[in-house]
Structure 1
Amino acid sequence: MLPTPELDDRHFEDLVEDAKRLIRQRCPEWSDDSPSDPGITLVEAFAYMMEQMISRLNHVPDRLYAKFLDLIGLRMLPPVAARTDITFWATTPVTGAPLTVHEGTTVATMRTDEDTLITFRTDDDVSMVASELVAVLTRAAGDAGDRVHEYQPGHGLAAPFGAFTRVPQPEDELVLGLRQPAQSCAVRVEFDGRVDGVGVAPQSPPLAWEAWTGDGWAPCDVSDDTTGGLNRSGHMVVHVPAAHTTSVRSGVAAAWLRVRILPTDGLAPAYATSPVVHGLGVATVGATVSGTHAELLEPEVIGEAEGVPGQRMPLPHRPVLLSYGEPVVETADSAQAQDWKVWKRVEEFASSGPEDRHFALDPVAGEVLFGPAVREPDGTMRRYGATPGAGALVRIRDLALGGGSVGNVPAGALRSLTSSIPFVAAVENRGPARGGADGESLAEALARGPLMLRSSRRAVTAEDFETLTMAAAPELARVRCLPAADVPAGVRVLVVPSAAGGRGLRLHHLIPADETLRRVARQLDATRLVGTSVMIEPPLYRGVTVVARVTALRHSDMEEVRVAVEDALHGYLDPLPGGGPGERGWPFGRSVLVGEVFALVQRVPGVDVVSDVRLFAANPVTGERGQETAQIDLAPNSLVISFDHQVRVEARP
């Protein structure tokens, strides 16, 4: 037999005892609760009937639960697609005409026997434009003017010069002028220099590359630096932002890039002397564009209209991805007709008139819905939205599939072009994809239904704010609403985006996207009480470093034990669902205790003895660590994030 769900697990005895407890609280003069009392007999009779009703309710199938949710207007949330930046690399440096990668280009993960293929689609066109160096400047920290160094395109520098001042200081600049902006391009900067800039750490030099955007200097990523911080000849690949533009500096019109020295904290090594530049050159070798885990389908006929209001038409694919593009329904009298009429998607038909070509889309059930007709009190019929004529063909276009947490692939996972592109040699995602979230399950929708009824689409209580925020942005993994003590009548809505948790989780993965924040702000602004100030922001993240020394069991691989311990620590000290004591993400404001960490490490397979466990608070932005402590206390708006755990494994003697 099929298992019976337990919606209400109370039985006859539980109901009778509950009734007696309430009688003692509210009617203390009713002192006789023996079975012979007539009142108790009535209680038992009602308890018997209630038990029968509970038994019948427990047999209601899931299909009817979904109908109940539909009656109260609740729609299950569809999956959300992950997004990431995708870099295309050219076969050779670009010269002459731009090399364009068009919107809709698909890339994928490498195909294996175990993993399914995960494809991403580029959101826009991106062009690799040729780069040419036309000017070289330097500026010392505090100086108002630049020093212009003679440079001739095709001939190079007239004479060597110091990249910075003789004793380099923070904010010293080396500035390069390009003939035209290299928007969204990867520019390789060739550097020929003498090894005089000793003193810095080659793997993390105190340098920052930036591009001029018209509104100021924007940071640039550097994916490859073979110069060791300008300490030897080599090249650097600088990824220029899309807002790169031309301006006039020191009388030269160019698109400017600069590298400047960053201040150090006194612990990291600084430059002792300046690197000496003998030669410079630039070339475009790639371009970067955003991509989405989605598949856009071709226009497809989904059926014929019956000419009646409220018709539902199933889609051939489900669930539908609504976070990518906007589906459009079109109707025509016949397949040969050229004048397809366009219908617009709406969330509900309450504001639709009888002539409005509107439709609704249930992304989870995979259905197109046309407006209903409702009988008014005077007996007339009112149409909420137009109705396609009988026999009209109905097709849908710009329909996207995909999404889900499976799209949160790590950095470097997208390496395959699904179709060859001339003069493009390779593709990669330099950062992990984030924002992908699975569609809402029936159990989650059942839990959200009472909250939606209680809030009535108005944000009053903390639960209301959290429910409406999740409905507006399903890509969020967690939401917490707290009062804002520093703002009168204010609340803080703390949002945590979906990301791939565990060892690869970094602080920037937990920063919500601007589009997500705007969508949540629009929802809460329309539903908040007048006078309520709402601040939407990420939580305050507190880094935690665990230093542990353990002894492995005999015949255990010490490297495997070390990795297992580190994985356990990353999985436990994780703000995302799956981490924390209850595997729902680390609770807001919950302290981290060294005793709990000790017990966690002791339970890792392969660990025999835990010799030492030490706990340190860390700043995940600066990397600065505090003193050893037995307990790290968190504020109510704080969550933890693992930061550079160190585990030493010793063999059992």
Structure 2
Amino acid sequence: MALPSPHLDDRRFQQFVDDAKRYVQQACPEWTDHNVSDPGVTLIEAVAHMADQLVYRLNRVPEKNHLAFLDLLGVTLFPPAAARADITFRLSAPQPEPVLLPTGTEVATGRTETEEAVVFATTADLTVVPCTLDRMLRHEAGGTPEDRSQDVLGGEDVPAFTALPQVGDALLFGLSAAVPDCVLVLDLDSRVDGVGVDPRRPPLVWEAWTTGAGWTAVEVDEDSTGGLNRPGEVVLHMPSGHAVSRLGGHDAGWVRCRVVEAAAGLPAYSESPTVRSARAFTIGGTVRAAHAETVRDEGLGASEGVPGQRLRLAHAPVVDRPPLLLQVAERAGGSVDGDALESGWQEWTAVADFAGSRPGDRHFTLDAATGELAFGPAVRQPDGTVRQFGAVPPKGAAIRAVRYGTGGGRAGNVARGTITVLRSSIPYIARVENREAARGGVDGETVEEAKARAPITLRAQERAVTARDYEQLARRAAPETARIACLAADTAASGAESGVGENAVRVLVVPQAVPDRGGRLRFEQLVPGDELLARVTGFLDERRPLGTRLAVGPPYYQGVTVVATLHAFRAAEAERVRADALDTLYAYLDPLTGGAHGEGWPFGRPLRAGEVFAALQRVPGVELVDEVLLHPADPLTGRRGDATDRIELAPSALLFPFDHRVRVVEAR
């Protein structure tokens, strides 16, 4: 148990007032009016207020000493992290020339009477490249590509695949240029010949040829052709690596539509669809944006020419996108490392510390939480010499921040479809949208959190030994994650589903997810990305003991469907009761915020029907919970298992609420 922090003086305002009144009665008994309206009592309260402020400041001395000790240990507050989202810009019409959206283009959510707009800025340039359809090839499974460009462009009906389409048959579209990160539209004129398939889920995949990865799956935004069975448009979001390649003797930016196995329970093609005409064009593009406002050309003053000078940016906290670009104006003929420099602006580089900085290195450090910049110090060595760590800007040289981003925090985690406002002036842009929720935003660390983290950091010493060490270090590597859990070696080895075996640890990562409007999470939101897993794995791999095997991945999500029958009070509206009951079920079983304590459903904790009874009984308007059935479910296929009153979970499993069914019986 930690030693309690002493109160140097535990008296408070009211105690000062009461003591003063007692002293007055002893020293001046003729003063009998002690009501708050008396001028003398007012004077007593004023003095007591000043004394209370002095006591408050005195009691903060231990906290100040504690913070000074943390500062000596190098424990600093973690800055906030900025949420990120992929923003899609839609053009008003296809353009004959490329449309450039520069880095720093700002978009935002809509502003309301109660909420300010949340601003995002793009982190890279986006060029919407115009294109046309130059070639069309038909590639039968196991065969060679066949050029059908003249037939299609001439208006003839051309079968897209073989007479009886086989898995692997493909129809290839050759574009006049590569269109990475663009929104591509294929306008097709097709007939209803590809019978037998479900037009909502045809057995087709769309792919694009990319550098290094070959054929890569393409996200389909819209397919109004019903699987190439009627005239319409196929809207595709092209991958970043789309490039021109040579296929069938022709150079083009290739996109293909390939036949795959039909999903379980769905029919396959019995005849090949046909294409009479086709054309292609780009109508927009997608680029990553961060929750930050870009500050440009901020003057920071002049250099004093002494080591260790500190400056402060006007806006804090500072986020890593866009990165801070600091420049110092070097005087003509001046020197930093002994060599003459040309007059003009010189770029300086941010470093974590000056331990590896030489006297001529143009380095500086940045405290992202406070926005404070520091240049290299001069340190006296044991032999009496003074060593300079990092260069010192010449005296009188102007210093400026050319560009940096400020913002971050949880406020940037907005739902999909909410970023709709274009703040920068860009011609030809009709609308913007975020097709997925923005995530990754984390508030800056508080002093109390730093004080709780410091003992763990000192004990672990950058080494992962216990399960708690792994969890804390993984949280440092990826602070934007929602939940992290580490299974001990014996626990991880006991479950066949773990796949890690003996002498191993398994770290479970649950990414941050923003529910859609209505408070519902989608299953794909809970799957961590490859970049996040790689970052956590690399960080922990450098700190694990030798001989320990490490596995980092998502938990197993056990879907559960609740089927319940409720009886409502006579005055309650049945539809309202049903909606509230569904909200309660999704909230209670939520893997991020559910459970009895609102901290997410515990790993490995089974679900019992009695808990659901109790949760539903608290719903306003519910008189009686008649029946509750639990069904294990697969969130991917939608299949449900047999009804049960208890769902067991493995130690590495979490619940995922899926497709609940609630029936409300109205009172008669």
- Above 0.5 in TM-score? yes
Alignment of 1:396-545 (within 5 A): 396-482=401-487, 483=489, 485=493, 486-487=500-501, 489-501=503-515, 503-545=519-561
Distance of aligned partners of 1:134 and 1:392 in 2 relative to their CA distance in 1, 3 Å threshold: closer
Paired position in structure 2 for 1:181:
178
**Cα drift, residue 257 of structure 1:** 1.6
Which amino acid in structure 2 is aligned with residue 78 of structure 1? P
SS at match of 2:542: helix
Q: Does the Cα contact within 8 Å between 2:330 and 2:346 map onto a contact in 1?
A: no
CA distance in 2 between partners of 1:462 and 1:105 (Å)? 43
Q: Which residue of 1 aligns with 2:276?
A: 278
Could you report, residue by residue, the CA deviation over 1:555-603 in whole angstroms, capped at 9, with x for unpaired residues?
A: 4343433332232222222232x33332222222222222222222222
Q: Matches of 1:384 and 1:447 in 2, distance apart?
A: 32
Residue range with higher mean Cα deviation, 402-411 or 563-572:
563-572
Aligned to 2:344, the other structure's residue is in SS state coil
Q: Which residue does 2:23 correspond to in 1?
A: none
Q: Distance in 2 between matches of 1:64 and 1:271?
A: 75
**What does residue 193 of structure 1 align with?**
190
Q: Which amino acid aligns with 1:231?
A: N
1:426 offset after TM fit, Å?
1.4
Residues 388 and 84 of structure 1: CA distance in aligned 2, closer, same or farther (over 3 Å): same
The within-5 A match list for 1:197-208 is: 197-208=194-205
Partner of 2:103: 103
Q: What does residue 365 of structure 2 align with?
A: 360
Counterpart check, 1:551 vs 2:548: no
More displaced stretch, 407-416 vs 339-348:
339-348
Give the 3 Å change call, closer, same or farther, for CA 594–165 of structure 1 in structure 2.
farther
Q: Which residue matches 2:298?
A: 300
Change (3 A) 1:311 1:590: farther
Letter of the 1:359 counterpart: F
Q: Counterpart of 1:625 in 2: which secondary structure?
A: coil
Question: In the aligned structure 2, how far is the partner of 1:554 from the partner of 1:203?
Answer: 42
> Whole-Å Cα distance in 1 between the matches of residues 346 and 176 of structure 2?
48
Give the one of 563, 573, 579 matched to 2:579. Answer: 563
> What is the rounded CA distance, in whole Å, between the counterparts of 1:411 and 1:284 in structure 2?
23
In the other structure, the counterpart of 2:286 is: 288
The equivalences for 1:187-336 within 5 A come to: 187-214=184-211, 215-305=213-303, 309-322=307-320, 324-332=321-329
Spell out, residue by residue over 1:265-289, the C-alpha distance to the aligned partner (whole angstroms, 9 max, x if none): 4323444444333332222212112
The answer (yes or no) to whether the contact 1:149–1:157 under 8 Å persists in 2 is no
Distance in 1, Cα, partners of 2:151 & 2:269 = 29
Contact kept? 1:548, 1:648, Cα under 8 Å:
yes
Instruction: Return 121-130 or 131-140, whichever deviates more.
Output: 131-140
Q: Which moved more, 1:128-137 or 1:412-421?
A: 128-137
Instruction: Report how many residues are paired.
Output: 598
Q: Which residue of 1 aligns with 2:619?
A: 604
> SS at the partner of 1:298?
strand
Render the CA deviation track for 1:289-313: whole Å, top value 9, x for unaligned: 2222122211323345555544443
Q: How does 1:373-388 map to 2 (within 5 A)?
A: 373-377=378-382, 381-388=386-393
Residues in 1 aligned to 2:425 and 2:412: alpha-carbon distance in whole angstroms: 23
Aligned counterpart, 2:138: 138
Contact 2:477/2:535 (<8 A) preserved: yes
1:469 partner SS: helix
Q: For residues 123 and 233 of structure 1, do their structure 2 counterparts lie closer, same or farther at Cα, with a shift above 3 Å needed?
A: same
Q: Where in structure 2 are the equivalents of 1:40-189 lying within 5 Å?
A: 64-94=65-95, 96-140=96-140, 142-151=141-150, 155-158=153-156, 160-189=157-186
Q: How do residues 564-603 of structure 1 correspond to structure 2 at under 5 angstroms?
A: 564-576=580-592, 578-603=593-618
What SS does the aligned partner of 1:626 have? coil
Hey, what does 2:32 align to over in structure 1?
Answer: none
User: 1:107-141 deviations in whole A, cap 9, x for unaligned?
Assistant: 1112222221112112222222223223333344x
**What is the rounded CA distance, in whole Å, between the counterparts of 1:281 and 1:331 in structure 2?**
52
Report the CA distance shift for 1:74/1:179 in structure 2 as closer, same or farther (over 3 A). same
- 1: distance between equivalents of 2:546 and 2:387? 34
Q: What is the distance in 2 between the residues matched to 1:563 and 1:60?
A: 53
Structure 1's 62 and 272: CA in aligned 2 closer, same or farther, altered over 3 A? farther
What's the offset of the Cα at 1:166? 4.0
Displacement, 1:422?
1.7
What do the CA deviations read for 1:225-248 (whole angstroms, capped 9, x no partner)?
Answer: 222333322212111212222333
Q: 1:351 to 1:458 in 2, by over 3 A?
A: farther
- Kindly tell me: are residues 509 and 157 of structure 1, through their superposed partners in 2, closer, same or farther at Cα, counting changes over 3 Å? same
Shift of the 585–373 alpha-carbon distance from structure 1 to 2, 3 Å rule, reads farther
- For the 8 Å contact 1:197–1:273, the answer to whether it is kept is yes
- What SS does structure 2 have at the residue aligned with 1:92? coil
Amino acid of the residue matched to residue 637 of structure 1? S
Which amino acid counterpart does residue 172 of structure 2 have in structure 1? V
- Is the 2:617–2:623 Cα contact (8 Å) retained in structure 1? yes
| Contact 2:560-2:655 at 8 Å conserved across structures | yes
Aligned: 1:636 with 2:651: yes
In structure 2, stretches of 5+ residues that fail to align are 8-55, 335-342, 494-499
2:173 counterpart SS class? strand
The change in CA–CA distance for 1:623 and 1:395 in structure 2 (over 3 A counts) is same
TM-score normalised by length of structure 2: 0.81
Shift of 1:355: 4.5
Q: Which amino acid aligns with 1:505?
A: L
Q: Which amino acid aligns with 2:185?
A: R
| Aligned-partner Cα distance in 2 for 1:61–1:117 | 41
**Pairing 1:623–2:621 present:** no
- 2: distance between equivalents of 1:371 and 1:253? 54
Does structure 1 conserve the Cα–Cα contact (< 8 Å) formed by 2:123 and 2:322?
Answer: no
CA-to-aligned-CA distance 1:479-511 (integer Å, 9 cap, x gap): 222335335543322222222147342233233
Partner of 2:15: none
Q: Is 1:333–1:391's contact at 8 Å kept on the other side of the alignment?
A: no
What is the alpha-carbon distance in structure 1 between the residues aligned to residue 279 and residue 368 of structure 2? 52
> Is the Cα–Cα contact under 8 Å of residues 558 and 655 in structure 2 kept in the other structure?
yes
In structure 2, the CA distance between the partners of 1:594 and 1:374, relative to structure 1 (3 Å rule), is farther
Against the structure 1 CA distance between its residues 390 and 163, is the aligned structure 2 distance closer, same or farther, given a 3 Å change threshold?
Answer: closer
Does the 8 Å contact 2:505/2:548 carry over to 1? yes
1:315 is matched by which residue type in structure 2? L
Q: Distance in 2 between matches of 1:175 and 1:216?
A: 14
Q: 1:123 to 1:582 in 2, by over 3 A?
A: same
Q: What is the TM-score with the length of structure 1 in the denominator?
A: 0.83
Query: Equivalents in 2 of 1:617, 1:58: separation in Å?
Result: 56
The residue identity in structure 1 corresponding to 2:137 is L
| Distance change >3 Å, CA 595–CA 200, structure 1 → 2 | farther
Bigger mean CA offset, 214-223 vs 487-496: 487-496
Q: Say if 1:563 and 1:452 are closer, same or farther in 2 by CA, change over 3 A.
A: same
CA gap of 1:227–1:613, structure 2 versus 1, over 3 A, is farther
Distance 1:432 1:493 in 2: 25
